[in-house]
A and B are shown apart, each in its own frame.
Chain A
Amino acid sequence: MKHAHRWGVLALVAVLAAALAVGAAGCAGKGPAKEKPEQPQVAVYISNEDPVVYWDPADACSNEVIVHNEIYETLIRYDPVADKFEPVLATDYSRSPDGLEWTFHLRKGVKFHNTGNEMTSEDVKFSVERAVQRGMGVSYIWDPVEEILTPDPYTVVFKLKYPAALDVVVASSYGAHIVDAKAVREHGEDWLSQGHEAGTGPYMLESWEKGGDYVFTKFPDYWRGWEGKHFDKIVFKTVPDAATARQMMEAGQADIAPNLTPEQIEGLRGKPGVAITEAPSWKTLVGPMNTKKKPLNNKLVRQAISYAVPYEEIVNTALQGHAIQSSGVIPKGLWGHAENLYYTTDLEKAKELLSKAGYPGGGFKLVLTYPSGADDVRRAAELMKASFARIGVDLEIRAMNWEQQWDLAKNPDPQKRQDILLYHWWPAYADPYDNLVNMFHTEEDILFNLAYYSNPRVDELMNKARETAGVDRARAIELYRQVQEIIMDDAPQLCLYDRKSVFALRTSLKGFRPNPAYQDVAFFYNCYREGE
């Protein structure tokens, strides 16, 4: 019996081998057909997570930034490197001397997808008011706006409560996209969130499948036109496994992959047909500490922990140099960033502070949670564990999915929450206020102030800075520096590193220019293929 069985297996193997050979031959036969010149130009973008969480641009606050900025547009676009605004749906804009009235002149002849409606001031007013009224995503960015006026179809006037920097709000990567008012009114309030779109952008939705491909095709009536070289189609693929993503890049099955692990990037370096592009990003790794629970409710202990983090090791080993140590709580490259405002790794100082706080030799345990699957964060956590052990603090590391760990952090009972939570944060729009208000402003209901930090002086200073930014940015930057000095001294949060965006690209992909204000967005309209 046993022998017969063995022959059965061999036969099966033989059959499989034959099937494979036939399959391979079939593929080879189809090969030449691919090289026909009329083949549409398709660009493939690899995302390590589902590219869309919220389809409605008013609700967006997650990965969909990479998709929404291809199908929707904002009035203006911010270029943080040159610190300039480029006209998009608005041709120009002006600000009243007191900074309380902003007037935008709209581009004429801009059409919406599918309906062919022309974009007017009505749509701008509708989009903003709708975002505010839904109150989801980043609707708080519109807080300075008192009233929106539409004197004629091509003019929009924003009246503000205080002189905030409205240009960065209007250029926000989230929550500032203009939708087709008529289409949304016709289909109903929830139509967009069910997986439809109504934008003016260069690409429109063709099909999508959760966990699968998201396909977008060019919008023939796009206002910039289709002269010159462009892609006809763009496809977003979800590939959670970095090793698979890397192989796809090597094989030329994908054009662009952000968020690969440092190992995969280093492995791809020098491979034929693949280029590695580094760019600054505003993504930072933060570790809010539970200031409502012993022993981290003690400022000295928090400072000791801040001194015990092995910053250099994390940057060099966990991130293989794809980051720099954070300074202050606003990332480098965003206005308001404070230089030379960081903790060094100093274990002696940490021990001293622990003794002063009444914990000589440490002797307590802390629980740290991090989003499961984030391998770079896991490594940072393990390095922290090793370093904390040297000051007598036992760090327990737990991987949790994001929702779970966020829920734990929002638990009404502070004693049940974790002690430290590690996660990546990036601002929704190019304003330091976004980092400060979300993570350090006193919060009634906890959302992102996960250190439960409350300091009236900090609240006051950041609000004052925001209200000055529209007319006097230099003064605002000064105020933001003051706020950060207080925060760093209070140490409610570990500020680990500012990540560099590292993209793997096919060398045949041209025209790609990363913009840290629009995290990981490709802006495919500017890209084209050459060679290969």
Chain B
Amino acid sequence: MTEEAARRAGLGYAWYLFRRNRLTLAGSAVVVLLVLVALAAPWLAPYPGDATADVHPERALLPPSREHLFGTDELGRDLFTRVLFGSRISLTVGVIAIGLALLIGVPIGLAAGFFGGTVDEVLMRVCDVFMSFPPLLLSVAICAMLGPSLTNVMISIGVAWWPWYSRLIRSQALSVRERGFVEAARAAGVKPWVVIWRHILPNTMAPVVVQASMDFGSVILTAASLGFLGMGAQPPTPEWGLLVSIGRTFFLDQWWYVTFPGLAIFMAVLAFNLVGDGIREISDPRTREA
């Protein structure tokens, strides 16, 4: 069997495992749908102007109808449009916040794992400091300090999230470091950063990718929570958490206002968690049985 064939067989087996789990499949379908909706929001939305600055006071708080599938809000904006545009914000926040966490966490984890000793000790204690706070609380504190905005939400989540990736990468790097090909590279006089970049990093990424896919849902939820607390996106941004927060006052008389953005958060978080779980099951032989 050639190397290429083996890789293909591996992928095929992964696909088989993925397909076998119906929940994962359903989750990925929702994720794909979400991405498509986010990309096509300007064309799908019936009233694209309502996502930004338009207001129509004469159409305030209309119940769901054919013109307004999800009803309208207190300033007459179409909630269907706003929820559609909200998917863009949530996905962007998820990608950027996790990207930022990886950007901080991965180099730190690699350095700690590869060099060990004092470097490891110092970096890991810094990690401990960050990990001693629940991530949501830390994000809230950072947002309160930087001032409320969507950019600051991404920064705060990234800053609160990186230590988990550092820990993960470090443990991987520790074991990869002792492998033959690394020793060979070092014996050949390759500079440490080249060893890290070419040999250690590629061999530590698999669990990080799994972890990141599992975290995606939590990050979206955290961003929505920050929006709900008024520390995230600012009105009139159609961020889901913010919509729920504002719609809460209308809950007793206008059920649709909180319900649809709330459902959107629920669906997105559930879908990403299912996909994350699926990927973990595939990558971990111990969970494959049953």
Contact = CB atoms under 8 A, between A and B. Distances in A.
B148 A400 contact: yes
B53 A386 contact: yes
B249 A261 contact: yes
A516 to B, nearest CB: 26
Contact of B251 (A243, A316, A398): A243
A379 interface: yes
Interface stretch (A34-42, A355-363, A370-378): A370-378
Which of A241, A246, A375, A382 lies at the interface centre, i.e. has the most chain B CB atoms within 10 A of its CB? A382
Interface stretch (B9-17, B54-62, B195-203): B54-62
Dominant SS among interface residues on chain A: helix
A389 interface: yes
Contacts of A372: 148, 230
A263 B253 contact: yes
A347 to B, nearest CB: 14
Contact of B236 (A247, A317, A385, A400): A385
B68 interface: no
A422 interface: no
A275 interface: no
Contact of A243 (B54, B230, B248): B248
A317 B148 contact: no
A383 B55 contact: yes
B130 interface: no
A242 B249 contact: yes
A436 B76 CA distance: 37
Nearest to B254: A263
A272 to B, nearest CB: 16
B175 interface: no
A397 interface: yes
A243 B55 contact: no
Interface in B243-282: 246, 248-253
B147 interface: yes
A385 B53 contact: yes
Interface in A384-404: 385-386, 389, 396-400, 404
Contacts of B253: 263, 266-267
Contacts of A264: 249, 252
B249 A375 contact: yes
Contact of A397 (B54, B236, B248, B249): B236
Contacts of A317: 55, 57, 60, 74-76
B147 A316 contact: no
Interface in B38-68: 53-55, 57, 60
B149 interface: yes
Contact of B249 (A243, A383, A386): A243
Contact of B147 (A243, A373, A382, A398): A398
B192 interface: no
Interface size range of chain A in the complex: 20 to 34
Nearest to A399: B230
Contacts of B248: 241, 243
Contacts of B57: 313, 316-317, 383
A260 to B, nearest CB: 10
A100 interface: no
A391 to B, nearest CB: 12
B246 A381 contact: no
Given A313-B57, A386-B54, A398 B249 contact: no
B230 A381 contact: no
B249 A382 contact: no
Which of B75, B149, B234 lies at the interface centre, i.e. has the most chain A CB atoms within 10 A of its CB? B234
Given A267-B252, A399-B234, A389 B53 contact: yes
Nearest to A247: B252
Given A375-B246, A382-B55, A389-B53, A246 B252 contact: yes
Contacts of A399: 148, 230, 234-235
B249 A381 contact: no
Contacts of B246: 375, 378
A250 to B, nearest CB: 9
Nearest to A394: B53
Contacts of A386: 53-55
A317 B77 CA distance: 13
A462 to B, nearest CB: 36
Nearest to B61: A263
Which of B60, B147, B290 lies at the interface centre, i.e. has the most chain A CB atoms within 10 A of its CB? B147
B236 A382 contact: yes
Contacts of B53: 385-386, 389
Interface string A1-23: 10000000000000000000000
A379 B236 contact: no
Interface in B143-185: 147-149
A382 B147 CA distance: 19
B278 to A, nearest CB: 16
Which of A1, A317, A397 lies at the interface centre, i.e. has the most chain B CB atoms within 10 A of its CB? A317
Contacts of A316: 57
A508 to B, nearest CB: 23
B137 to A, nearest CB: 18
B82 to A, nearest CB: 12
Nearest to A396: B234
Nearest to B74: A379
Interface string A238-278: 00011100110000000000000101101100000000000
13 contacts: A243-B251, A246-B252, A247-B252, A264-B252, A372-B230, A375-B246, A375-B249, A382-B235, A383-B75, A389-B53, A397-B235, A399-B148, A399-B235
Given A243-B252, A261-B249, A263-B250, 7 more contacts: A241-B248, A242-B249, A247-B252, A267-B253, A378-B246, A383-B55, A400-B147
